[in-house]
Amino acid sequence: MKLIDSFDFKGLKAIVRVDFNVPLDKQTREVTDDTRIRGALRTIKKITGDGGSAILMSHLGRPKGPEEKYSLKPVLPVLEEHLGMKVLFAPDALGAEAAAMAAALKPGEVMMLENVRFYPEEEGKPLLPEGATDEEKKAAKAELKAKQKVMAEKLSKYADVYVNDAFGTAHRAHATTAVIADFFPEDKRMFGFLINSELAAMDKVLKETEKPFTAIMGGAKVSDKIAVIENLLDRVDNLIIGGGMTYTFIKVMGGRIGNSLCEDDRLEMAKGIIEKAREKGVNLIFPVDSVNADRFDPEANVYISAIDNVNDGWMGLDIGDESVELFSKVISNSKTILWNGPMGVFEMTKFDDGTKGIAQAVAEATDNGAFSLVGGGDSVAAVNIMGLADRISYVSTGGGAMLEYMEGKKLPGITAIRGE
Do 270 and 384 share a structural domain? yes
Query: Number of helices (H) and strands (E), helices first, in the chain?
Result: 14, 17
Taking the C-alpha atoms of residue 170 and residue 164, their distance in angstroms, rounded to an integer, is 9
**In this predicted structure, what is the pLDDT of residue 336?**
97
* Selected catalytic residue, list 377, 391, 409, 418: 377
Please confirm, yes or no, whether 219 is among the known catalytic residues: no
Active-site residue (options: 61, 108, 272, 400): 400
Same domain for 128 and 246, yes or no, is no
pLDDT given at position 357 = 96
- Residue 292 inside a domain? The answer is yes
40 shares its domain with 94: yes
Both 191 and 222 in one domain: the answer is: no
Does one domain contain both 170 and 256?
Answer: no
Catalytic residue among 45, 125, 149, 221: 221
Residues of the chain with pLDDT below 50 are: none
For residue 240, the cross-strand partners are 216, 285
Give start and end residues of each alpha helix (H) in 281-408.
Answer: 321-332, 353-367, 377-385, 399-406
Catalytic annotation on 39?
A: no
Domain membership of residue 418 (yes or no) is no
Supply the range of the domain harboring residue 169: 4-197
pLDDT of amino acid 406: 87
CATH of the domain at 258: 3.40.50.1260
Residue-level pLDDT at 403: 86
Same domain, 146 and 264: no
Per residue in 162-217, pLDDT tens?
999 999 899 999 999 999 999 999 999 999 999 999 999 999 999 999 999 999 99
Annotated catalytic residue, options 13, 17, 36, 235: 36
Q: Within this chain, do residues 224 and 284 fall inside the same structural domain, yes or no?
A: yes
Q: Which of 154, 171, 197 is the last residue of a domain?
A: 197
Residues 6+ apart with CB under 8 A from 17: 57, 58, 162, 163, 164, 165, 166, 169, 176, 177, 180, 413
Q: Is 400 a catalytic residue?
A: yes
Of 171, 197, 223, the residue at which a domain comes to its end is 197
The number of folded domains in the chain is: 2
Active site residue 17: no
